[in-house]
Structure 1
Amino acid sequence: MKLQFDVLQKGDYEVINKELERKDSLDVLKWVYNAFGDKLVYSCSFGAEGMVLIDLISKVKKDATIVFLDTDFHFKETYDLIDQVKERYPSLNIELAKPEITPEEQAKQYGERLWEREPDACCKVRKLVPLERELSRYDAWISGLRREQSPTRINTQFVNQDNRFQSIKVCPLIHWTEEEIWMYINLHKLPYNELHDKSYPSIGCEYCTKPVAEGEDPRSGRWANSEKTECGLHK
């Protein structure tokens, strides 16, 4: 079976996921890198799940390519973490993908503070279009989605048909709980974003991410005061 988006049918995904259903995350990563090799990329936001996946990926393919969507609006702590990861995993190829326009150009073209007025439009310019450009170079991509994270992710499989990006999306951590993510981080002494210790369970752009009170939905700090719950990468 040729593993390409335009060749695989719905039944093929069912067969693949049946084959992988009893595998652990490391086995899934071994399978996907064996299947796609250098035509596979990990799109990483450097959240807690990202740190676990980076460590697991480094055990399977030391020179794997990781792309970070650098919107120009991230927290300083996020950029500091990327520097730490580069130092800890020097063989990994970590690329920062920029939007086609600068924040200043965006303000001139769309008006000031687009993220407040039209958050979907801001995400499209600074995240969706850049990721579309990056994924066009690959046959498949890895994501850190977990089923536990939100109702929209509950049916995520290990290997998914990604119609949004005309690609194959692989999610090795679908069965992991938040507790297991942090157990792994602490056990292996992995670096992580300092904002996680300041009530930021989910971290995105600085303008659109707020701390979350204890007991609230972990993603309620993303696009707070709006109905938006996803940037659009995983619809």
Structure 2
Amino acid sequence: MIDHSKIEELSQRVEHLEPSKGMALLCDLFPGKVVFSTSLGQEDQVITDIIARKELPVGVFTLDTGRLFYETYDLLARTIMKYGLDIKTYYPNTHSVEKFVREKGINSFYDSVDNRKSCCYIRKVEPLKRALAGNEIWITGLRAEQSPNRKNMRKLEWDEGNKILKYNPLLDWTMDEMLAFIKANKVPYNPLHDKGFVSIGCAPCTRAIDPGEDPRAGRWWWESSHKECGLHEQTPLAKNS
């Protein structure tokens, strides 16, 4: 049974803490059970920098879908070299990828939302579940500004799909605040951000956006869905926890 009163109490404790202090508190409360998933986006690079500089005992991992941009792989290498962190990489199940491609086609995610979500599940959601297994706190780089789907999120909430507490330390940060941090701390970032790529995922599913477009417009631009891959789906439980 989930004790919602304890979740609410802890949520209130971290709500107004700066990211480093919030993460430090959770590391003290859940020793050895706090992990951070980085997609190497600008928000995630900020969190990686904080974890490294503050020497926080947070396990850092990333998901290699097999279809990332070259620039993303290069950034991963540069990040590991700069911070000396052991960033674990999780990969999709080979059999599942082979079966999907054989039955649906290598680029079948363009054909339907169902196909795209199936591809995302195989390449991202299932590996994420393996990475989170056995842990109690999942740190993410989500910001409320990024999409309408994220405006109702809280800094600390229960993720029912993964049965874990999710902490979003940058939730109330603006784009300007994030960019100022990156500049001030010389945080390495993906050069694609300077070419109009705001949200960077798999290469076939990401395009640059035009000035004034929604930040998520460049993801799965050919469909009119909620622009999520399933990693951060909200449920009634998550909203009310």
Which of the numbers 216, 219, 222 marks the counterpart of 2:213? 216
Which sits farther off after the overlay, 200-209 or 106-115? 106-115
C-alpha change, 1:112 and 1:22, in structure 2 (3 Å) is closer
| Contact 1:42/1:66 (<8 A) preserved | yes
TM-score, with structure 1 as normaliser: 0.92
| Contact 2:27/2:58 (<8 A) preserved | no
Partner amino acid, structure 2, of 1:100? N
Aligned CA RMSD, in angstroms, stands at: 1.6
Q: Percent identity?
A: 36
Q: CA deviation at 1:190?
A: 1.0
C-alpha change, 1:139 and 1:20, in structure 2 (3 Å) is closer
Give the structure 2 partner of residue 186 of structure 1.
183
| Contact 1:64/1:93 (<8 A) preserved | no
Q: CA deviation at 1:37?
A: 2.4
Output the CA distance in 2 between the equivalents of 1:63 and 1:30: 8
Partner amino acid, structure 1, of 2:137? A
| Contact 1:115/1:207 (<8 A) preserved | no
Give the structure 2 partner of residue 3 of structure 1.
none
Give the structure 2 partner of residue 205 of structure 1.
202
Give the structure 1 partner of residue 44 of structure 2.
50
Partner amino acid, structure 2, of 1:169? K
Output the CA distance in 1 between the equivalents of 2:104 and 2:129: 21
Q: CA deviation at 1:12?
A: 2.0
Give the structure 1 partner of residue 231 of structure 2.
233
Q: CA deviation at 1:116?
A: 1.5
Q: CA deviation at 1:109?
A: 4.0
Give the structure 2 partner of residue 25 of structure 1.
19
Give the structure 1 partner of residue 65 of structure 2.
71
Q: CA deviation at 1:63?
A: 5.7
| Contact 2:141/2:170 (<8 A) preserved | yes
Output the CA distance in 2 between the equivalents of 1:212 and 1:80: 22
C-alpha change, 1:167 and 1:131, in structure 2 (3 Å) is same
Output the CA distance in 2 between the equivalents of 1:106 and 1:194: 31
TM-score, with structure 2 as normaliser: 0.89
Taking the TM superposition and a 5 Å limit, the aligned residue runs for 1:90-109 are: 90=84, 92-101=85-94, 104-109=98-103
Give the structure 1 partner of residue 238 of structure 2.
none
Q: CA deviation at 1:62?
A: 5.2
Output the CA distance in 1 between the equivalents of 2:108 and 2:61: 24
| Contact 1:200/1:221 (<8 A) preserved | yes
Partner amino acid, structure 1, of 2:204? Y
Output the CA distance in 1 between the equivalents of 2:106 and 2:77: 30
Taking the TM superposition and a 5 Å limit, the aligned residue runs for 1:64-213 are: 64-90=58-84, 92-101=85-94, 104-117=98-111, 118-213=115-210
C-alpha change, 1:21 and 1:104, in structure 2 (3 Å) is closer
Residues 176-232 of structure 1: per-residue CA shift (max 9 Å, x gap): 001111000011111100100010010000010011001100110001110230011
Aligned residues: 228
Which sits farther off after the overlay, 13-22 or 93-102? 13-22
Partner amino acid, structure 2, of 1:27? K
